[in-house]
Chain A
């Protein structure tokens, strides 16, 4: 009775009660877990802390983009894993986007066959678990490749074998100058496009920005090659005999099969989702828009470039961002085929060696959270830029 009266008359108090209960419950769970963890760690004689990151890791990693061996620290091993995760995510995102756009557009093709093939591609690859696809590529498809001595050769500069894909290595001289010139080219392109936009909006002049930009992008770095001492040579992989039966390739860069399998599976799987986004985006642009564009005399390409795509992109980008995030998170399946990503290197090997479950799992999760949040912040920024500007 009292409770009821109290409830009706005092809305503020009524709101407070469930909140207080929730917070208290959450706090008690956290405190319970924390005390247990403290006791357990005390029993095992380990104390909470991140000092272990500076200790010598003393395990090797099969594939690393930075210099690493067993004498480096756990912190360095973490970095190697992180870079490998980022590498496979970037490769996956790149190919998934290209394939997704092609398949998505193909699904809307007038050509019945192409549309059907694209539809079945989506239906097949979307409905098979990603981990099975990774296993399939790694354990079944790539294992069927030939041994190094009969590797599939691409014009004798690149070889595909069971041990990986050997590609030429780029050897630069004065790479910094080249890099600066590329940056300079991009800055120049930025100014050219903004100048062109101004000209178009003020005087209605059309400047062929695409061709000029391309020319700048090629010409400026080319100058550095001709006059500023930049040069590029390739180191080709060469077959080398280790013993009468064992062959390998020396020189060049070896792309390990784990990376190939993972990148293949990730991009083929994610492409199906991106394709659906692209299709939905293009379908989402009203028919009236295309008709209106045609009636003011734009040709087919102009309609696609100036009217349909800018509007479709607005629909496509947000869900596609989610797919990029998913791909990055899915790259953690690398652990299943021993691609040395952050999960395998850090949450696997390093955890087994140090036994510091809480610290290591927290760092790993925080890393993924940071990656996720940074991709979504970037994409939100891009999304805002693309959003309809009311004038």
Chain B
């Protein structure tokens, strides 16, 4: 009896073809149903026909679940997706949901979508209206920056990419100078190029900056400044001098305890009250200061984690060599501590990039803000889905690349102890 009902190595020749047939039948049913809107099992009562793929698939998976069958593909299949009844059900559900969701997604993104045209009227299909992205693409990238001057932003970013690209191929010795240039010279050169006002370049006020380029500008500057401030705060928090220690703690905990949006509100409405009457600091600079201080507090906590993880012997060894506080930290402690916390640093920087859209609070518009502006344009109402899917994709690519890069860096720099 057991020989007939329970799948085993002895009856493999009957059970496996039967099981595979049932499983493929169930997939075929769902597939045909999803893609061609045709119900294979329509001759059955509706409720049964609805659940039939699940039942067939389940029985099929049960039949092919033969331990140590000796057939390699079957063993791999069983081990990975069919190890017991529960897993078989989960597998079926997952595959069904994936098959079911492909056609509507495909329709919306590509098949029913509109790619050609210049206005909303050209979008006749049911799918996405990518014309919207095409028409507004320039604005999404450069904000309200004048069209004629956009080459300046392009040039600045081209120089950046060129320098970064070249620095990968030059020798270690030259690389140092490239990095020094990137950190100390280029940011100010780039910002001068973009803002203009001298060398015959037309001045473009920061309120006109926007789009994805503003996301990059803000992220780059905030990263540049928040890193050293964070390191100093972390050292301050670990300092043996009480005044410095408690001021650092207070500073870090204050920023970490409040949301960025209130910090930005503060920079927009409260900070001007603290300045002498008539002084005006550019909106962009105020936002930059706010984001930098905010992220520096998070960076400080990450770096502190690294400092705490270092064994005491490292400090003692450095001191016994006669090193002072700064030399000890710069040459012995920080290089090791920072290496330990690369994932944390990467996460903080990622958070910083993901926080940039919040600058809408003070009226600056990067990519998400520009989409908000575009979708409220009377000629382009109802394009929110396309806009936010596009922005989500762009941000996703940036952030995913960053997190991948940090994982690689971590592997590269990890030294066996």
Contacts and interface: CB of A to CB of B under 8 A. Distances in A.
B325 to A, nearest CB: 10
B266 A361 contact: yes
A332 B360 CA distance: 13
B273 A139 contact: no
B262 A40 contact: no
Interface stretch (A63-71, A130-138, A152-160): A130-138
B395 A127 contact: yes
B258 A368 contact: yes
B375 interface: yes
B403 interface: yes
A369 B297 CA distance: 14
A130 B354 contact: yes
A121 B275 CA distance: 47
B40 interface: no
Interface string B29-71: 0000000000000000000000000000000000000000000
A13 interface: no
Contacts of A43: 277
Interface string A21-59: 011001000000100110111010000000000000000
A132 B357 CA distance: 8
A346 to B, nearest CB: 10
Contacts of B384: 135, 139-140, 143
A167 to B, nearest CB: 26
A336 B247 CA distance: 33
Interface string B261-297: 1100110011001111100000000000000000000
Interface residues of A, number: 56
Contacts of B276: 36, 39
Given A332-B259, A333-B261, A343-B262, A110 B277 contact: no
Classify the secondary structure of B's interface with A: helix
B116 interface: no
Contacts of B372: 135
A314 to B, nearest CB: 18
Contact of A113 (B94, B265, B392, B403): B94
A329 B276 CA distance: 32
B105 interface: no
Contacts of A351: 269
Given A111-B87, A111-B91, A329-B259, A358 B241 contact: no
A129 B357 contact: yes
Contacts of B400: 123, 127
A117 interface: yes
Contacts of B87: 109-111, 114
Question: Which residue among B83, B95, B247, B388 has the maximum number of chain A CB atoms within 10 Å of its CB?
Answer: B388
A361 B94 contact: no
A131 to B, nearest CB: 5
A308 interface: no
Interface in A319-372: 329-330, 332-333, 335-336, 343, 347, 351, 357-358, 361, 364-365, 368-369, 372
Given A111-B87, A113-B94, A19 B275 contact: no
B242 interface: yes
Contacts of A343: 259, 261-262, 265
Interface in B329-383: 350, 353-358, 360-361, 368, 371-372, 375
B81 interface: yes
A124 interface: yes
A15 interface: yes
B273 A332 contact: no
Interface residues of B, number: 56
Question: Which residue among B243, B368, B375, B389 has the maximum number of chain A CB atoms within 10 Å of its CB?
Answer: B243
A361 B354 CA distance: 24
Given A19-B244, A114-B90, A139-B384, A369 B257 contact: yes
B286 to A, nearest CB: 14
Contacts of B224: none
A333 B264 CA distance: 12
B396 interface: yes
A113 B354 contact: no
B361 A128 contact: no
B208 interface: no
B4 to A, nearest CB: 29
A18 interface: yes
B357 A361 contact: no
A321 to B, nearest CB: 13
A113 B371 CA distance: 35
A20 B241 CA distance: 10
B242 A19 contact: yes
B358 A131 contact: yes
A330 B261 CA distance: 9
A333 B358 contact: yes
A94 B301 CA distance: 27
A190 to B, nearest CB: 33
Nearest to B261: A332
Nearest to A328: B259
Pairs A-B, 7 closest by C-beta atoms:
A127-B399, A19-B243, A139-B384, A329-B259, A140-B385, A33-B274, A332-B259
Given A112-B81, A365-B257, A369-B258, 17 more contacts: A19-B244, A109-B87, A111-B80, A111-B81, A111-B90, A127-B354, A127-B400, A128-B396, A129-B357, A131-B358, A136-B392, A140-B384, A141-B385, A343-B261, A368-B257, A368-B259, A368-B262
Interface of B: 79-81, 83, 87, 90-91, 94-95, 240-244, 247, 254, 256-262, 265-266, 269-270, 273-277, 350, 353-358, 360-361, 368, 371-372, 375, 384-385, 388-389, 391-392, 395-396, 399-400, 403
Interface of A: 15, 18-20, 22-23, 26, 33, 36-37, 39-41, 43, 109-114, 117, 123-124, 126-133, 135-136, 139-141, 143-144, 329-330, 332-333, 335-336, 343, 347, 351, 357-358, 361, 364-365, 368-369, 372-373
9 contacts: A113-B94, A114-B94, A129-B353, A131-B358, A139-B384, A140-B389, A368-B257, A369-B258, A372-B257
